[in-house]
């Protein structure tokens, strides 16, 4: 048996605008992966032909046995040969089926791995706005479900569609040796019934597609509630969530019932059609025998093959409808995951050559929503020289985070351009751009892995000593060592086993380890206590001396020794200068400084009391 198809790693993780063509429809998707495993599927077809051929051959040998036994009652060479042929057909059928099971297992498992990687590759190229609009649980369920449906489709074709089809073809050939009219009637009947079932099955695809969509949305919503159980409990919302899920489950059940009952209608029509066909075939065989135009063996084989076709064609009919369900589910998944990417690489885009870390915004504007109705940034012009440390402050919703999101190219600007070392970031690959950036967001998202794996995620080649050095620099080594398994402790989903401040420090350690030329902090120390913040800030000053740093901060004191401060308000930069200069100007920054200073003083008075 040939080895599994070679791994299909996407070249440079192509992130151009158009998703691969084979993700455009379920048919192309299925044929694409079948073609990649064509030798396996070819072997499957040959084994099915062999097994079903042996089964039909055994029926024909049974006819010869009946005809031979209709003569003189004596053991002769012909009779022995017929019995041996019958036993050989039975043994051959069993051998072919067992080999088929082994090959089908290897094939479906291998293809399931490939197509999930294919879908994940496409999904990971979508913009962050896409993930904000789609539930993570639903997307994951769609990918997993597609693999399951592809496997179910393969098994349906192999075990329930091809064998009865070969039975019918064999019966048509054998019946032709008895009576051509009988053969023609069988062929026409089977084609008519199959065509009718396909037509009827196609009419049910919207019902199956609706059920697939409802199931994916319901599953995703359920996972969302489970992953946010703290919020559910904190706001006494268990009953409300139960009621909301009850409504969703009932909508899914209604869609499932519609799909299921349509299958029952198909089964009923199929049963009627086969009853008429079987009656016609059996009556014709008996009539031919009564006229002396058919032997007893002919009548036996017509009876056995007709009942075999009756039994297996029910599987065939149901399998055709089931296949429509599987294809409908895959189509529904591709419609969601295979969307055109909002943020994409230009064809043939080169990698970013980051030589110093100089950042420039030229007339940058950006708006959220369709038609860009809500303007978050308005004609921003900004130059950050290499190795300069720039702080960004301003009221909530002023556009601070939008600036750094655009720098990471999580969204594309709607006007103007952003450059790093003179290269427009829209013209280089996204992966090379982000490789030059180390980011610590306000809300640190950790993977459900060990502490060591989470920090090392920034640089997989880092040694344990380098990971621990980064942790010490971020002042998190002491609490990591105190965890039950130290650096091997699993942090839980999104870091749920750690406090907010602990997650924040691990995120900072991860940024230290990456050692990128440009460092971005988005409220990176907001979850730290004052003592830890001062210690981390000192480490930042020491370790980021030769880096370009852009930091969004709420606590202005953390930016006191930065080279430059930008004050952003209503999508514009309203002040720009050193901390000392801005305080002397007595503008927006000076007012914020005084407010925070007064707040700290009041906190000290309350603490003393």
Q: What is the pLDDT of residue 603?
A: 46
Give the sheet arrangement for strand 423-424, strand by strand: 374-384, 359-368, 415-420, 423-424
* Residue 424 main-chain phi, psi, to 5 deg: -60, 125
* Residue 440 main-chain phi, psi, to 5 deg: -120, 105
Q: Give the angle subtended at the CA of 528 by the CAs of 523 and 534, to the nearest 5°.
A: 95
Instruction: Give 368's strand partners.
Output: 374
Mean pLDDT by 10 residues, the chain (609 residues): 48 56 81 89 91 82 71 66 82 89 89 87 76 72 84 86 80 74 74 72 73 77 75 75 85 82 74 74 74 72 72 68 79 80 79 88 81 71 90 84 87 88 88 86 82 87 89 86 89 80 84 86 68 63 77 78 87 87 85 72 42
Distance CA 39, CA 35 (A): 8
Q: Which three-class secondary structure state does DSSP give residue 246?
A: helix
Distance CA 589, CA 578 (A): 11
Q: What is the pLDDT of residue 143?
A: 86
**Whole-prediction pTM value?**
0.65
Q: Is the dihedral of CA 586, 592, 596, 599 positive or negative?
A: positive
Q: Is the dihedral of CA 585, 587, 590, 594 positive or negative?
A: positive
Q: What is the pLDDT of residue 134?
A: 73
DSSP state of 233: H
Residues 6 or more apart in contact with residue 328 via CB below 8 angstroms:
26, 205, 208, 209, 212
Structural domains in the chain, CATH included, are: 16-216+249-337 (1.20.1560.10), 356-436+557-598 (3.40.50.300)
Q: What is the pLDDT of residue 374?
A: 65
Distance CA 418, CA 550 (A): 14
Q: What is the pLDDT of residue 28?
A: 86
List, in sequence order, every beta strand (DSSP E) within 432-526: 437-440, 518-522
Q: What is the pLDDT of residue 47?
A: 92
Q: What is the pLDDT of residue 606?
A: 36
Residue 133: CB atoms within 10 Å: 9
Q: Give the angle subtended at the CA of 65 by the CAs of 59 and 70, to the nearest 5°.
A: 135
Buried b (16+ CB within 10 A) or exposed e, 241-277: beeeeeebeeebeebbeebeebbeebeeebeebbeeb
Q: What is the pLDDT of residue 541?
A: 64
Residues 6 or more apart in contact with residue 440 via CB below 8 angstroms:
504, 507, 508, 510, 511, 519, 520, 521, 522, 524
Q: What is the pLDDT of residue 95?
A: 92
């Amino acid at each position: 048996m040939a080895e599994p198809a070679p791994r299909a790693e996407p070249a440079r993780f192509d992130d151009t605008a158009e998703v691969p063509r084979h993700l455009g429809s379920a048919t192309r998707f299925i044929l694409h992966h079948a073609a990649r495993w064509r030798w396996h599927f070819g072997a499957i077809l040959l084994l099915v032909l062999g097994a079903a051929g042996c089964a039909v051959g055994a029926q024909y040998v049974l006819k010869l046995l009946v005809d031979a036994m209709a003569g003189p009652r004596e053991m002769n060479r012909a009779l022995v040969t017929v019995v041996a042929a019958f036993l050989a057909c039975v043994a051959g059928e069993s051998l072919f089926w067992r080999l088929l099971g082994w090959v089908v297992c290897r094939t479906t498992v291998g293809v399931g791995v490939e197509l999930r990687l294919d879908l994940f590759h496409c999904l990971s190229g979508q913009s962050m706005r896409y993930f904000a609009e789609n539930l993570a649980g639903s997307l994951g369920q769609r990918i997993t479900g597609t693999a399951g449906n592809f496997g179910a489709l393969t098994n349906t074709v192999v075990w329930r569609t091809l064998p009865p089809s070969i039975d019918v073809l064999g019966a048509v050939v054998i019946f032709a040796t008895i009576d051509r009219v009988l053969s023609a009637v069988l062929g026409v009947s089977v084609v008519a019934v199959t065509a009718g079932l396909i037509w009827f099955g196609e009419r049910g695809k919207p019902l199956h597609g609706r059920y697939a969509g409802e199931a994916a949305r319901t599953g995703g919503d359920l996972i969302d509630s489970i992953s946010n159980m703290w919020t559910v409990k904190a706001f006494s919302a268990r009953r409300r969530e139960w009621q909301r899920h009850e409504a969703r489950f009932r909508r899914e059940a209604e869609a499932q019932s519609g799909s299921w009952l349509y299958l029952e209608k198909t089964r009923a029509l199929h049963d009627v059609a086969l009853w008429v066909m079987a009656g016609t075939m059996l009556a014709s065989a008996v009539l031919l025998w009564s006229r002396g135009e058919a032997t007893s063996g002919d009548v036996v084989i017509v009876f056995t093959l007709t009942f075999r076709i009756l039994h297996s064609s029910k599987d065939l009919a149901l399998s055709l409808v089931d296949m429509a369900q599987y294809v409908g589910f895959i189509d529904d998944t591709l419609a969601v995951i295979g969307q055109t990417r909002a943020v994409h690489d230009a064809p043939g885009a080169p990698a970013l050559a980051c030589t110093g870390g100089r950042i420039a915004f030229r007339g940058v504007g950006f708006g959220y929503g369709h038609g860009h109705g809500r303007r978050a940034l308005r004609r921003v012009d900004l130059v950050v020289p290499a190795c300069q440390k720039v702080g960004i402050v301003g009221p909530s919703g002023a556009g601070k985070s939008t600036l750094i999101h655009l720098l990471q190219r999580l969204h594309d600007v709607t006007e103007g351009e952003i450059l790093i070392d003179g290269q427009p970031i829209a013209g280089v690959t996204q992966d090379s751009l982000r490789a030059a950036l180390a980011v610590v967001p306000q809300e640190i998202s950790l993977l459900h892995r060990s502490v060591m794996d989470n920090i090392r995620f920034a640089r997989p080649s880092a040694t344990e000593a380098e990971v621990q050095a980064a942790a010490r620099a971020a002042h998190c080594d002491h609490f990591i060592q105190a965890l039950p398994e130290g650096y091997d402790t699993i942090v839980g989903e999104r870091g749920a086993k750690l406090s907010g401040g602990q997650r924040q420090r691990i995120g900072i350690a991860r940024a230290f380890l990456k050692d990128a030329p440009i460092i971005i902090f988005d409220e990176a120390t907001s979850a730290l206590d004052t003592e830890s913040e001062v210690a981390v800030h000192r480490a930042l000053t020491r370790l980021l001396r030769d880096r370009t740093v852009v930091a969004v901060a709420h606590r202005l004191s953390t930016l006191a020794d930065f080279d430059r401060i930008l004050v952003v308000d209503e999508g514009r930069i309203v002040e720009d200068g050193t901390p000392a200069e801005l305080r002397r100007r007595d503008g927006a920054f000076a007012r914020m400084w005084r407010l925070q200073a007064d707040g700290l003083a009041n906190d000290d008075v309350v603490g003393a009391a």
